[in-house]
A and B are shown apart, each in its own frame.
Chain A
Amino acid sequence: MSAWSELASQRLPRSEGPWAWLAAGSVALSLLMLGGLLLLIAVRGLGHFWPAGVVQLELEDGRALAGRVVRELPLEQGERERLYYTANRDLDGQVWHWLAVSDIVASERPRDLLVLERRFHGEFIGRLVEVGSVDFPDPTSTATADWNALQASLAELQALRSERDRLRREQLRPLIQQLDADPRDAQARRELAAVNERVRALQHAMQGKVAILESADGRRLVQPLDEILRAWRPNAMTTGEKLTAWARGVWRFLSEGPRDGNTAGGVWPAIFGTVLMVLLMSLLVAPFGVLAAVYLNEVAHQGRLTNLVRISVRNLAGVPSIVYGVFGLGVFVYGVGGSLDEWFFSDELPSPTFGTGGLLWASLTLALLTLPVVIVATEEGLARIPVQQREGALALGATRFETLTRVILPMTVPAMLTGVILAIARAAGEVAPLMLVGVAKLAPQVPVDAEFPFLHLERKFMHLGYHIYDTAFHGNDVQAALPLVYATALLLIGVILVLNLTAIFLRHYFRTRHGYVPRQ
């Protein structure tokens, strides 16, 4: 008997027949599928940030191309086809090229191939010819590529940029505020003009340099340095450098706003919007859910009507989420929001303030959506409290209210948090209702800032789930957006995980405080 079969026979006695194997098999299958899905999302999502090498190709028909291999598919008769990302939208008009492998005559990885991430027209793949002044660009220059000069110029540019931002932040803004307070302050006015002049000078200096670039097929391009976000030579990078670049890429994805119609850049506003919306939702749903459960379980007469309400609440959990979205749009946005606008923001009309989708309405709608979950979890928690605890408190002269608030509710906190965890898990992944009540494709302003009242509940916000949907189906370049979709999906899973873990740790804290362990 082998060790394996010995182990198997120990764990699964013969007498249990095929059922044990069936059960174990389905668990294994579920785990496998789940793990596979997570792995796919993680690999595709995180792989996007890896500075992959670029190849220079020579084709049978004499064309030359440079780009990254994206994927390879088999064609008929053993032929294979590869998808190359060649960038250079401003030169070629298209950035994706399907090429038959047999058409490729030569393929090499020259170290001087350069990749630029630019503010306009996406990436550039090619060679650097010269870094020159904007006034006399010489597109016919024969100078050799000077990578170090480009790096130095970019660093110089970055220094200018941060100096400008510092001036704006530290001098311009206080002066403008001062002038707002007293428009006749001549001294401030003069200072403002001086600072403005310096900012303008800095900006002029920033626009002063261009790079002359050459694509793989020899066409040239004058690229203002100011529009270059990053430059790298993937074929010349060591693994360590690539790892650093990868980490920086991930960080930029997490900390920056989206660019190019959501097909590039980061998702920070969406992370912020998702977390803020879920937190607001939890703040709204927890008190209402707990109060409702307390009423149903502790106050209401336990009769047929209470049971009917209970069953209805459980059934509400099964209503499609889009129905909640429509309800939120009709009642919260148009009904409540419209009235608020008429009463308090009438001078802004006809442009709506609260009468349009926003953070508050989205949170309220999701709170409504997740209310049954919290009610059910809290009710079950209340029902689990041993009757001796109640009687113990009552026998000490506590009123029913004191018993509830001092003994029963503290003991029910873990169950309430279980409800909130389930609510978070459901709400954070919900997209359909949000599309009706306040999510935006692009809302670079996060709903929290330094401006009174700091939390802007009426603002539209970005959401990771909606961002996935938008990038995947509404972008102008689906191929470019695809890795971002995977990355965003991974991030959404991560955000939900973090939110849930927070709640789970909180629950654990409340459970173990004073060593309370439910008795068998």
Chain B
Amino acid sequence: MRSTLPISIPSRFQPAASGSIIDFPAEASCFQVEALSLAYGGKPALQEISLRVPRHRVTAFIGPSGCGKSTLLRALNRLHDLNENVSHEGRILLEGQDIHAPEVAVDELRRRVGMVFQVPNPFPMSIYENVAFGLRLQGGLTRRRMDDIVEWALQAAALWDEVKDRLRASAWSLSGGQQQRLVIARSLAVRPEVLLLDEPASALDPISTLKIEELIRGLKSQLTLILVTHNMQQAARVSDYTAFLQEGELVEYAPTDILFTNPTLRRTENYITGRMA
């Protein structure tokens, strides 16, 4: 991985009303979102969003409810495909390739771009089977190799020590925090390049939240993480870069410490200091 990244390059797509938008060279970017507009049944949800997500870093999307941060996140692995009412314009490139290109298989894209949701959603199977689920979809693995990957994934998600003696137990018997780490392990098992996290800790208690945050910080050596959160302290604690969205627009996108200490725009400052209605 790269040890240093350029931090402040003026954006080519910077809208007039926006604050500073950090840019990364294409070769350091995992995702490149280019002028993405998205609408639910004609009602716009995202407007002309352009940003680049750096590889092997934690990027946080923050903003008030309904600002479009989750919508943007779900656009990155084409989860909106399920909804016939969603229309979009603009492009999203993953490693230089348009994810909406006809030759891109959406299931392969989603394997490369994993996702963890707000509410832990383990399948009603054993712990082992949950982690092995994605592997079984791909097939062609020996039993031993499968066991190895499951163990590796559970260790990577810091869950192995808690469940190694009861891999055959139901995933639903775990606590909420354990379930969320199991879901992360399940995503890691298919070796994604990117992991999207949609408010992964908002349904958890503080201790579980802490564990998830540690996990996120530890995982960035292996993959790119994109985090959507309501919790600004959380964004400040775990992310390297933070994008602030409001009413479907990208307002400001900067290194996290800069955004939280020295935002360029008043409305960013208002939001992060809690002065916004």
Given A397-B111, A397-B190, A402-B137, CB of A391 within 8 Å of CB of B121: yes
Decide: A392 and B137 in contact? CB cutoff 8 A.
Answer: no
Q: Chain A contacts of B124 at CB under 8 A?
A: 410-411, 513-516
Residue of A nearest to B186 (CB): A396
Decide: A516 and B190 in contact? CB cutoff 8 A.
Answer: no
| Contact code string A402-434 (vs B, CB < 8 Å = 1, else 0) | 100011001100000000000000000000000
Residue B77, interface by CB 8 Å: yes
Given A397-B134, A514-B172, A515-B172, CB of A392 within 8 Å of CB of B123: yes
Decide: A395 and B170 in contact? CB cutoff 8 A.
Answer: no
B126 to chain A, nearest CB (A): 6
Q: Chain A contacts of B186 at CB under 8 A?
A: 392, 396
A413 to chain B, nearest CB (A): 10
Decide: A301 and B84 in contact? CB cutoff 8 A.
Answer: yes
Tell me the interface secondary structure of chain A in the complex.
helix
Given A397-B107, A397-B190, A515-B172, CB of A391 within 8 Å of CB of B115: yes
Q: Chain A contacts of B183 at CB under 8 A?
A: 392
Q: Chain A contacts of B111 at CB under 8 A?
A: 396-397
Q: Chain B contacts of A406 at CB under 8 A?
A: 133, 137
A205 to chain B, nearest CB (A): 67
CA distance A242 to B170 in the complex (A): 54
Decide: B117 and A391 in contact? CB cutoff 8 A.
Answer: yes
Q: Chain B contacts of A397 at CB under 8 A?
A: 107-108, 110-112, 134, 137-138, 190
CA distance A406 to B186 in the complex (A): 15
Q: Chain A contacts of B133 at CB under 8 A?
A: 393, 396, 398, 406
Residue A386, interface by CB 8 Å: yes
Q: Chain A contacts of B108 at CB under 8 A?
A: 397
Decide: A395 and B115 in contact? CB cutoff 8 A.
Answer: yes
CA distance A391 to B169 in the complex (A): 23
| Chain B positions 133-175 with a Cβ under 8 Å from a chain A Cβ | 133-134, 137-138, 169-173
Decide: B171 and A395 in contact? CB cutoff 8 A.
Answer: no
CA distance A323 to B123 in the complex (A): 44
Decide: B110 and A396 in contact? CB cutoff 8 A.
Answer: yes
Residue B125, interface by CB 8 Å: yes
CA distance A388 to B124 in the complex (A): 12
B201 to chain A, nearest CB (A): 16
B149 to chain A, nearest CB (A): 13
Decide: B110 and A514 in contact? CB cutoff 8 A.
Answer: no
Number of interface residues of B (CB under 8 A): 33
B219 to chain A, nearest CB (A): 16
Given A388-B121, A407-B123, CB of A395 within 8 Å of CB of B79: yes
CA distance A389 to B120 in the complex (A): 9
Residue B207, interface by CB 8 Å: no
A169 to chain B, nearest CB (A): 50
B228 to chain A, nearest CB (A): 14
A457 to chain B, nearest CB (A): 37
B99 to chain A, nearest CB (A): 14
CA distance A301 to B83 in the complex (A): 11
A410 to chain B, nearest CB (A): 7
Q: Chain B contacts of A340 at CB under 8 A?
A: none
Residue B119, interface by CB 8 Å: yes
Q: Chain A contacts of B121 at CB under 8 A?
A: 386, 388-389, 391-392
Decide: B187 and A395 in contact? CB cutoff 8 A.
Answer: yes
Residue A394, interface by CB 8 Å: yes
Residue B1, interface by CB 8 Å: no
Q: Chain B contacts of A514 at CB under 8 A?
A: 124-126, 170-172
Given contacts A397-B107, A398-B110, 5 further A-B contacts (CB under 8 A): A392-B183, A394-B107, A397-B190, A407-B123, A514-B171
Interface residues of A (CB under 8 A from B): 301, 386, 388-399, 402, 406-407, 410-411, 513-517
9 A–B pairs (Cβ distance < 8 Å), ordered by A: A389-B123, A395-B187, A395-B196, A396-B133, A396-B134, A396-B137, A397-B112, A398-B134, A515-B172
